[in-house]
Amino acid sequence: MTANAPILHNKTIVISGGTSGIGYQLVKLLAPHNQLVVIARPGPRLDALATDYATVHTYGADLADTSQYEPVVDLIMKEHPSIDVLINNAAVQYPATLLDKAFSLESISQEVNLNFTAVCALTALFLPSLLKARHGGLIVNMNSGLALAPKTGSAVYCASKAAMNSFSQSLRYQLEGTRASVVQVFLPLVDTPMTQGRGGGKISAERAACDILDAIGKGRATVNIGKVKALRVLFAIAPFLARRILKSG
Protein backbone atom coordinates (compact mmCIF):
# COMPACT_ATOMS: atom_id res chain seq x y z
CA MET A 1 0.00 0.00 0.00
CA THR A 2 1.25 3.49 -0.84
CA ALA A 3 -1.49 5.47 0.86
CA ASN A 4 1.23 7.85 2.02
CA ALA A 5 2.42 8.65 -1.49
CA PRO A 6 3.77 12.23 -1.74
CA ILE A 7 0.95 13.26 -4.08
CA LEU A 8 -1.38 12.89 -1.09
CA HIS A 9 0.88 14.35 1.58
CA ASN A 10 0.43 17.71 3.28
CA LYS A 11 -2.75 18.51 1.37
CA THR A 12 -6.12 19.96 2.27
CA ILE A 13 -8.54 17.32 1.00
CA VAL A 14 -12.31 17.58 0.75
CA ILE A 15 -14.17 14.26 0.91
CA SER A 16 -17.91 13.91 0.53
CA GLY A 17 -19.56 11.03 2.35
CA GLY A 18 -16.62 10.21 4.60
CA THR A 19 -18.51 8.66 7.51
CA SER A 20 -18.86 5.07 6.30
CA GLY A 21 -17.72 2.59 3.68
CA ILE A 22 -14.91 3.57 1.33
CA GLY A 23 -15.09 7.21 2.35
CA TYR A 24 -14.43 6.36 5.98
CA GLN A 25 -11.51 4.11 5.04
CA LEU A 26 -10.04 6.94 2.96
CA VAL A 27 -10.34 9.25 5.95
CA LYS A 28 -8.47 6.75 8.14
CA LEU A 29 -5.64 6.44 5.61
CA LEU A 30 -5.33 10.12 4.72
CA ALA A 31 -5.85 11.80 8.10
CA PRO A 32 -2.34 11.19 9.49
CA HIS A 33 -0.67 13.17 6.69
CA ASN A 34 -3.25 15.73 5.55
CA GLN A 35 -5.92 18.17 6.64
CA LEU A 36 -9.28 16.64 5.78
CA VAL A 37 -12.61 18.37 5.22
CA VAL A 38 -15.48 15.89 5.37
CA ILE A 39 -18.95 16.77 4.09
CA ALA A 40 -21.70 14.37 5.16
CA ARG A 41 -25.14 14.28 6.69
CA PRO A 42 -25.18 15.67 10.23
CA GLY A 43 -25.22 13.01 12.92
CA PRO A 44 -23.18 11.02 15.45
CA ARG A 45 -20.90 9.42 12.84
CA LEU A 46 -19.87 12.81 11.48
CA ASP A 47 -19.36 14.18 14.99
CA ALA A 48 -17.18 11.16 15.86
CA LEU A 49 -14.76 11.91 13.02
CA ALA A 50 -13.83 15.28 14.43
CA THR A 51 -13.37 13.70 17.86
CA ASP A 52 -11.30 10.76 16.64
CA TYR A 53 -9.02 12.65 14.23
CA ALA A 54 -7.40 15.98 15.04
CA THR A 55 -6.83 16.71 11.35
CA VAL A 56 -10.45 16.13 10.31
CA HIS A 57 -12.85 19.07 10.03
CA THR A 58 -16.50 18.16 9.58
CA TYR A 59 -19.34 19.97 7.83
CA GLY A 60 -22.90 18.72 7.95
CA ALA A 61 -24.91 18.87 4.74
CA ASP A 62 -27.39 16.70 2.89
CA LEU A 63 -25.98 16.61 -0.62
CA ALA A 64 -29.27 15.27 -1.97
CA ASP A 65 -30.57 18.80 -1.30
CA THR A 66 -29.22 21.14 -3.97
CA SER A 67 -29.93 24.23 -1.85
CA GLN A 68 -27.19 23.17 0.59
CA TYR A 69 -24.29 23.11 -1.88
CA GLU A 70 -23.32 26.78 -1.94
CA PRO A 71 -23.76 27.47 1.80
CA VAL A 72 -21.57 24.55 2.87
CA VAL A 73 -18.86 25.33 0.30
CA ASP A 74 -18.90 29.03 1.26
CA LEU A 75 -18.35 28.06 4.90
CA ILE A 76 -15.56 25.64 4.02
CA MET A 77 -13.79 28.20 1.84
CA LYS A 78 -13.89 30.79 4.61
CA GLU A 79 -12.22 28.37 7.01
CA HIS A 80 -10.02 26.51 4.47
CA PRO A 81 -9.26 28.94 1.62
CA SER A 82 -6.77 26.60 -0.09
CA ILE A 83 -8.17 23.27 -1.29
CA ASP A 84 -5.79 20.84 -2.99
CA VAL A 85 -7.93 17.74 -3.57
CA LEU A 86 -11.65 17.06 -3.96
CA ILE A 87 -12.86 13.47 -3.59
CA ASN A 88 -16.46 13.10 -4.79
CA ASN A 89 -17.35 9.93 -2.91
CA ALA A 90 -20.90 10.30 -1.54
CA ALA A 91 -23.48 8.09 -3.25
CA VAL A 92 -26.73 6.25 -2.68
CA GLN A 93 -28.35 3.33 -4.47
CA TYR A 94 -31.99 2.27 -4.28
CA PRO A 95 -32.46 -1.29 -5.60
CA ALA A 96 -36.17 -1.11 -6.47
CA THR A 97 -37.11 -1.31 -10.15
CA LEU A 98 -39.76 0.94 -11.63
CA LEU A 99 -42.11 -2.08 -11.59
CA ASP A 100 -41.79 -2.58 -7.83
CA LYS A 101 -44.46 -1.27 -5.48
CA ALA A 102 -41.62 -0.01 -3.27
CA PHE A 103 -40.35 2.32 -6.02
CA SER A 104 -40.61 5.96 -5.00
CA LEU A 105 -40.59 8.99 -7.27
CA GLU A 106 -38.77 10.87 -4.51
CA SER A 107 -35.87 8.45 -4.79
CA ILE A 108 -35.15 9.66 -8.34
CA SER A 109 -34.12 13.16 -7.30
CA GLN A 110 -32.26 11.83 -4.25
CA GLU A 111 -30.11 9.51 -6.36
CA VAL A 112 -29.52 11.96 -9.19
CA ASN A 113 -28.70 14.85 -6.87
CA LEU A 114 -26.37 12.95 -4.56
CA ASN A 115 -24.68 10.78 -7.19
CA PHE A 116 -24.35 13.33 -9.98
CA THR A 117 -25.60 16.87 -9.38
CA ALA A 118 -23.51 17.18 -6.22
CA VAL A 119 -20.43 16.00 -8.11
CA CYS A 120 -20.89 18.70 -10.75
CA ALA A 121 -21.73 21.41 -8.22
CA LEU A 122 -18.94 20.69 -5.73
CA THR A 123 -16.44 20.48 -8.58
CA ALA A 124 -17.55 23.84 -9.97
CA LEU A 125 -17.60 25.51 -6.57
CA PHE A 126 -14.18 24.25 -5.45
CA LEU A 127 -12.55 24.58 -8.87
CA PRO A 128 -11.23 28.15 -8.43
CA SER A 129 -9.22 26.97 -5.41
CA LEU A 130 -8.15 23.72 -7.06
CA LEU A 131 -6.82 25.65 -10.05
CA LYS A 132 -4.56 27.64 -7.71
CA ALA A 133 -3.25 24.65 -5.75
CA ARG A 134 0.52 24.94 -5.41
CA HIS A 135 1.31 21.50 -6.79
CA GLY A 136 -1.82 21.16 -8.92
CA GLY A 137 -5.39 20.48 -7.87
CA LEU A 138 -6.84 17.00 -8.06
CA ILE A 139 -10.47 15.94 -8.54
CA VAL A 140 -11.20 12.29 -7.75
CA ASN A 141 -14.59 10.98 -8.88
CA MET A 142 -15.61 7.67 -7.34
CA ASN A 143 -17.52 5.72 -9.97
CA SER A 144 -18.75 2.16 -10.53
CA GLY A 145 -18.31 -0.58 -13.08
CA LEU A 146 -22.02 -0.03 -13.71
CA ALA A 147 -21.10 3.21 -15.47
CA LEU A 148 -19.81 1.03 -18.31
CA ALA A 149 -23.07 -0.91 -18.68
CA PRO A 150 -26.15 -1.07 -16.42
CA LYS A 151 -27.65 -3.90 -14.42
CA THR A 152 -31.36 -4.68 -14.36
CA GLY A 153 -32.05 -3.15 -10.97
CA SER A 154 -31.18 0.35 -9.76
CA ALA A 155 -31.71 1.99 -13.15
CA VAL A 156 -31.41 5.53 -11.80
CA TYR A 157 -28.19 4.69 -9.96
CA CYS A 158 -26.70 3.17 -13.12
CA ALA A 159 -27.73 6.21 -15.15
CA SER A 160 -26.21 8.59 -12.60
CA LYS A 161 -22.91 6.71 -12.73
CA ALA A 162 -22.91 6.72 -16.54
CA ALA A 163 -23.48 10.48 -16.36
CA MET A 164 -20.54 10.83 -13.97
CA ASN A 165 -18.34 8.96 -16.43
CA SER A 166 -19.26 11.34 -19.24
CA PHE A 167 -18.88 14.38 -17.00
CA SER A 168 -15.45 13.26 -15.82
CA GLN A 169 -14.19 12.74 -19.36
CA SER A 170 -15.48 16.12 -20.53
CA LEU A 171 -14.08 17.84 -17.43
CA ARG A 172 -10.70 16.28 -18.14
CA TYR A 173 -10.77 17.88 -21.59
CA GLN A 174 -11.74 21.25 -20.12
CA LEU A 175 -8.86 21.18 -17.66
CA GLU A 176 -6.15 20.40 -20.20
CA GLY A 177 -3.42 22.99 -19.85
CA THR A 178 -4.51 24.02 -16.33
CA ARG A 179 -3.13 23.17 -12.89
CA ALA A 180 -6.01 20.79 -12.11
CA SER A 181 -6.59 17.20 -13.21
CA VAL A 182 -9.23 14.50 -12.93
CA VAL A 183 -8.95 10.94 -11.66
CA GLN A 184 -11.87 8.59 -12.16
CA VAL A 185 -12.16 5.44 -10.04
CA PHE A 186 -14.26 2.50 -11.24
CA LEU A 187 -15.26 0.20 -8.40
CA PRO A 188 -16.59 -3.37 -8.32
CA LEU A 189 -19.05 -4.52 -5.67
CA VAL A 190 -17.59 -3.35 -2.35
CA ASP A 191 -18.69 -4.46 1.10
CA THR A 192 -20.26 -1.27 2.46
CA PRO A 193 -23.51 -0.36 4.23
CA MET A 194 -24.95 0.59 0.82
CA THR A 195 -24.47 -2.95 -0.55
CA GLN A 196 -25.67 -4.93 2.47
CA GLY A 197 -27.68 -7.94 1.35
CA ARG A 198 -26.72 -7.51 -2.30
CA GLY A 199 -24.50 -9.80 -4.33
CA GLY A 200 -21.40 -11.75 -3.41
CA GLY A 201 -17.68 -11.74 -4.05
CA LYS A 202 -17.32 -8.27 -2.58
CA ILE A 203 -14.00 -6.69 -1.74
CA SER A 204 -13.61 -4.91 1.58
CA ALA A 205 -13.90 -1.14 1.79
CA GLU A 206 -10.44 -1.06 3.34
CA ARG A 207 -8.93 -2.97 0.41
CA ALA A 208 -10.68 -0.69 -2.07
CA ALA A 209 -9.42 2.44 -0.31
CA CYS A 210 -5.84 1.14 -0.23
CA ASP A 211 -5.93 0.25 -3.92
CA ILE A 212 -7.39 3.63 -4.83
CA LEU A 213 -4.69 5.58 -3.02
CA ASP A 214 -1.99 3.31 -4.40
CA ALA A 215 -3.15 4.02 -7.96
CA ILE A 216 -3.44 7.76 -7.35
CA GLY A 217 0.06 7.74 -5.91
CA LYS A 218 1.26 6.18 -9.15
CA GLY A 219 -0.32 8.97 -11.16
CA ARG A 220 -3.08 6.98 -12.84
CA ALA A 221 -5.92 9.01 -14.32
CA THR A 222 -8.28 6.03 -14.69
CA VAL A 223 -8.33 3.58 -11.82
CA ASN A 224 -9.95 0.16 -12.25
CA ILE A 225 -10.38 -1.66 -8.96
CA GLY A 226 -10.73 -5.43 -8.52
CA LYS A 227 -13.01 -7.17 -11.01
CA VAL A 228 -13.39 -4.00 -13.08
CA LYS A 229 -9.94 -4.75 -14.53
CA ALA A 230 -11.21 -8.05 -15.94
CA LEU A 231 -14.44 -6.38 -17.03
CA ARG A 232 -12.48 -3.89 -19.15
CA VAL A 233 -10.70 -6.75 -20.91
CA LEU A 234 -13.98 -8.56 -21.48
CA PHE A 235 -15.55 -5.44 -22.97
CA ALA A 236 -12.66 -5.26 -25.43
CA ILE A 237 -13.00 -8.85 -26.66
CA ALA A 238 -16.65 -9.77 -26.01
CA PRO A 239 -18.76 -6.70 -25.21
CA PHE A 240 -22.04 -8.63 -25.47
CA LEU A 241 -20.89 -11.05 -22.79
CA ALA A 242 -19.74 -8.21 -20.55
CA ARG A 243 -23.13 -6.52 -20.81
CA ARG A 244 -24.91 -9.78 -20.08
CA ILE A 245 -22.85 -10.31 -16.94
CA LEU A 246 -23.57 -6.79 -15.71
CA LYS A 247 -27.27 -7.13 -16.53
CA SER A 248 -27.62 -9.75 -13.83
CA GLY A 249 -25.72 -7.55 -11.39
**Residue ranges of domains in the chain:** 6-247
What's the whole-number average pLDDT of the chain? 93
pLDDT at 191: 81
Say which CATH architecture domain 6-247 belongs to: 3-Layer(aba) Sandwich (3.40)
Q: What is the mean pLDDT of residues 96-114?
A: 95
Q: Report how far residue 8's alpha carbon sits from residue 45's, in angstroms, rounded to the nearest whole number.
A: 24
Q: Which residues are catalytic?
A: 157
For 41, phi and psi rounded to 5 degrees? -60, 140
Q: What is the mean pLDDT of residues 132-144?
A: 95
Q: What is the mean pLDDT of residues 200-222?
A: 91
pLDDT at 199: 59
Rounded to whole angstroms, what are the CA distances from 115 to 26, 160, 161, 240?
Answer: 18, 6, 7, 27
Tens digit of pLDDT for each residue in 29-64? 999 999 999 999 999 999 999 999 999 999 999 999
Q: What is the mean pLDDT of residues 155-177?
A: 97
pTM of the model: 0.92
User: Contact 52/64 with Cβ under 8 angstroms?
Assistant: no
The H or E element containing residue 115 is none
User: Contact 139/123 with Cβ under 8 angstroms?
Assistant: yes
Percent of the chain's residues with pLDDT above 70 = 94
Residue 198 pLDDT > 80 = no
